[in-house]
């Protein structure tokens, strides 16, 4: 494997590598198979799983975790066996570091060599496999944000930052003695702790409301009535009425309130 290809920057190449293997056995795989699924699980399959890192150059711990996580897809895709799932997991993970064609060539080296020797088109095979139901299902589940996928580790990480930045703890040395960290390390840990635990900024909500047709109609009616009342008052004053008499609108508010309550 070309380490430069494996480690090249990629927008999807950001996953945490598990620290331990899954200890995969035939019995453990059978226990994770969906109900009423008749899929063969053999020692040969386990051996194939144990060679995933050797075949791809990707961390065995990561591939095994994915395999155990996506066992349910066997029941959702008729005709899918354990070997199909292993190949699809390798392919989907390799696509994070390689082109689809390069990933397919690594997963299916014999098919690739045969097509090359026969001078046959390879892109069609790659495209069809990339659009298969199992590959699409795994790609879809891998779209889950890392922050959600590993949310359980967030609290532990914050605690470790607190121990380093606030308490100055540096873990244990080879003899089991407690170590302390330098002031610079504490400052860096505190900066990271502040950034990680910073409260969410206040979000201002902008809401635009539009009056209903009924409200607009009522408003128009009121405007018309006020305009009519003003016209009447102007006419009274023009006829020589006293200004106080002209301003009397002749509305019984007690009567009006009673009609509204009804």
Residue range 127-163, pLDDT digits in tens: 999 999 999 999 988 876 555 555 666 777 888 888 8
- Rounded CA-CA distance 60/72 in Å is 20
Helices 60-69 and 43-50, axial angle in degrees (round to 10)? 130
99 pLDDT more than 50:
yes
pLDDT, residue 37, reads 84
Nearest C-alpha neighbor of 6 from the set 97, 90, 93, 105: 97
Res 64: pLDDT: 95
Model confidence at 202: pLDDT above 60:
yes
> Can you tell me the mean pLDDT for 195-206?
70
Q: HSE (CB half, 13 Å, CA atoms) of 25?
A: 4
221 to each of 68, 211, 225, 253, 254, how far by Cα in Å?
A: 70, 15, 6, 18, 21
Looking up tokens 């095979």, which residue turns up? Answer: 125
Q: Is pLDDT of 58 > 80? A: yes
> What pLDDT does residue 57 have?
93
SS3 content of the chain, % helix, strand, coil (to 5): 60, 5, 35
Spatial separation of the C-alpha atoms in residues 32 and 73, rounded to whole Å? 11
Report the pLDDT averaged over residues 120-124: 94
Selection from 260, 262, 233 nearest residue 245 by Cα: 233
Average pLDDT, the chain: 80
Q: DSSP code of 51?
A: T
Count of CB atoms within 10 A of residue 102's CB? Answer: 16
The SS3 assignment for 151 reads: helix
Tell me the β-bridge partners of 261.
none
Return d(Cα 48, Cα 177) in angstroms, integer.
Answer: 43
Q: How far apart are CA 107 and CA 96, in angstroms?
A: 14
Instruction: List Cβ neighbours of 25 (8 Å cut-off, separation of 6 or more).
Output: 46
- Identify whether the C-beta of residue 94 lies closer than 8 Å to the C-beta of residue 55: no
Whether the model clears a pTM of 0.75, i.e. scores above it, the answer is no
CA torsion angle 121 124 127 131 (round to 10): -150
């Amino acid at each position: 494997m070309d380490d430069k290809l494996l480690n090249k920057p990629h927008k999807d190449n950001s996953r945490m590598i598990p620290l331990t293997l899954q200890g995969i056995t035939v019995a453990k795989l059978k226990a994770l198979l969906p109900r009423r699924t008749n899929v063969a699980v053999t020692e040969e399959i386990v051996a194939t799983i144990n060679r995933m890192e050797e075949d791809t150059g990707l961390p065995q711990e990561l591939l095994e975790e994915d395999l155990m996580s996506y066992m349910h897809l066997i029941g959702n895709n008729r005709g899918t066996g354990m070997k199909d799932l292993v190949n699809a997991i390798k392919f989907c993970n390799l696509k994070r570091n390689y082109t689809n064609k390069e990933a397919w060539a690594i997963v299916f080296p014999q098919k690739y060599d045969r097509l090359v020797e026969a001078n046959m088109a390879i892109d069609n095979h790659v495209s069809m496999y990339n659009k298969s139901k199992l590959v699409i299902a795994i790609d879809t589940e891998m779209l889950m944000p890392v922050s959600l996928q590993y949310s359980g580790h967030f609290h532990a990480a914050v605690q470790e930052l607190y121990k380093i930045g606030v308490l100055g703890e540096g873990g244990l040395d080879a003899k089991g003695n407690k170590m302390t960290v330098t002031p610079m390390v504490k400052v860096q840990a505190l900066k990271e702790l502040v950034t990680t635990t910073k409260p969410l900024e206040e979000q201002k909500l902008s809401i635009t409301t539009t009056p209903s047709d009924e409200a607009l109609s009522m408003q128009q009616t009121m405007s018309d009535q006020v305009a009519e009342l003003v016209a009447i008052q102007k006419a009274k004053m023009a006829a020589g009425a006293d200004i106080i008499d002209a301003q009397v609108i002749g509305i019984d508010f007690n009567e009006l309130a009673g009609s509204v309550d009804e």
